[in-house]
Amino acid sequence: MQKHNFSAGPCILPQSVLQKSAEAVLNFNDLNLSLIEISHRSKDFVEVMDNARNLALEHLGLQNKGYQALFLQGGASLEFLMVAYNLLEKKAAYLNTGTWSDKAIKEAKLLGEVVEVATSKSENFNFIPKNYTVPKDADYFHCTSNNTIFGTQMQSFPETKIPMVCDMSSDIFSRQLDFSKFSLIYAGAQKNMGPAGTTLVVVKEDILGKVSRVIPSMLNYKIHIDKESMFNTPAVFPVYVSMLTLQWLKDLGGISAIEKINNQKAELLYNEIDRNPLFEGFVTKKEDRSKMNATFNLRNDQLKATFDDHLKQTGINGLNGHRSVGGYRASMYNALPLESVQVLVDIMQSIEKGA
């Protein structure tokens, strides 16, 4: 049965990318060798890494603007620490909009003072705080563009003179933004970019080298930049699949093209959540709704078994909400076709009709 994969991450990837990745595991570039058994210093893999780094900057419109793209190991979770290690001298400002921001704050506190400019924690993060002030004397401001667990997404970012750092793990490459407003962007690959195991870091070089501490080699962005993201052995397969996905996005017309489809998917689903009396959204303010992760509940718990059964029969995968929110979460990343959302909406309508 064909699956409709709404998983929150790792998540759906383009079918053509999966096909090419499987082929490369058997025979890469007609070398009669697998992608995963050649040296990372070989011409063939260095080209993959270069392409991946260039494509990332190209999609974000950050080529020739003083930025470097890195593909590191450790996940976004290691970036929580690395950001602070590389940038936090005295004080940093964090906006707390969800579990991931909260974890980023925890790691940063080990290295300096953290000012939480605003938080929606007491409301289980069901909205995005606004009208906060970012202290001018902080070393940087950190935010999470999309809150994967709660289904909120920042629609605007503060104007600030200090470097802005953003965890874009769950909405990178999904919508146009002026990315040059950010001094550092990071994102675990396993949503819009590739398989788990590599993390994209895009950093403006001139913000580095300003802290007084000695930074361990593996945590030091400057060292990774100097070694062109090959200070040590990179995660070859995840980087390759990410490169293919970035190429797929380019062939499709880039972020502006995928954004139109993402808007259609989100509109289709949220309209149904609102219209259908059986369902309600989790996020309190509509303007804070995430186009990547739509969180919603069944108003009547007694229908749960029927709904879940429909989901299963139709091949819908990964729709359970995160344990800290409950209910349902439909993750609609770049590779998810509009058709899958339509299948979900059809089910929502059919249980309304008592089918």
Ligand X SMILES: Cc1ncc(COP(=O)(O)O)c(C=O)c1O
For residues 229-248, one letter each, b for 16 or more C-beta atoms within 10 angstroms of the residue's C-beta and e for the rest, the string is: bebeebbbbbbbbbbbbbbb
Q: Which residues are CB-contacts of 156 (< 8 A; sequence separation ≥ 6)?
A: none
CA–CA separation, 83 and 219 (whole Å): 9
Contact 319, 351 (CB under 8 A): no
Residue 96 in marked binding region: no
State the minimum distance, in angstroms, from the CB of residue 260 to Mg ion.
25
Annotated catalytic residue within 139, 171, 191, 291: 191
Q: Considering only 72-80, 118-126, 283-291, 341-349, which stretch makes contact with ligand X by CB under 6 A?
A: 72-80
- What residues numbered 175-214 form the site for ligand X, per CB under 6 A? 188
Residue 138 in marked binding region: no
Q: Which does 281 bind (CB under 5 to 8 A by kind): ligand X, its own copies, Mg ion, none?
A: none
Does 292 help bind its own copies (rule: CB under 8 A)? no
Does 75 help bind ligand X (rule: CB under 6 A)? yes
Residue 198 in marked binding region: no
Residue 160 in marked binding region: no
* Neighbour tally for 220: CB within 10 Å: 18
Task: Tokens 């980087």: give the residue.
Answer: 239
User: Quick one: which of 84, 22, 41 has its CA closest to 229?
Assistant: 41
Q: Which residues are CB-contacts of 252 (< 8 A; sequence separation ≥ 6)?
A: 258
Q: At what angle do helices 43-60 and 236-252 cross, to 10 degrees?
A: 50
Q: Considering only 74-82, 159-167, 200-208, 253-261, which stretch makes contact with its own copies by CB under 8 A?
A: 74-82
Q: At what angle do helices 304-313 and 338-352 cross, to 10 degrees?
A: 140
Does 232 help bind ligand X (rule: CB under 6 A)? yes
Does 80 help bind Mg ion (rule: CB under 5 A)? no
Q: How many residues bind ligand X (CB under 6 A)?
A: 13
Q: Which does 297 bind (CB under 5 to 8 A by kind): its own copies, ligand X, Mg ion, none?
A: none
103 is known as an active-site residue: no
Q: At what angle do helices 99-108 and 75-87 cross, to 10 degrees?
A: 40
Residue 330 in marked binding region: no
Candidate list 315, 324, 346, 355; residue touching its own copies; CB under 8 A = 315
Contact 233, 197 (CB under 8 A): no
Q: What are the binding residues?
A: 41, 76-77, 100, 148, 167, 190, 232-233
Residues contributing to the site for ligand X (CB under 6 A):
9, 75-77, 100, 144, 148, 167, 169-170, 188, 232-233
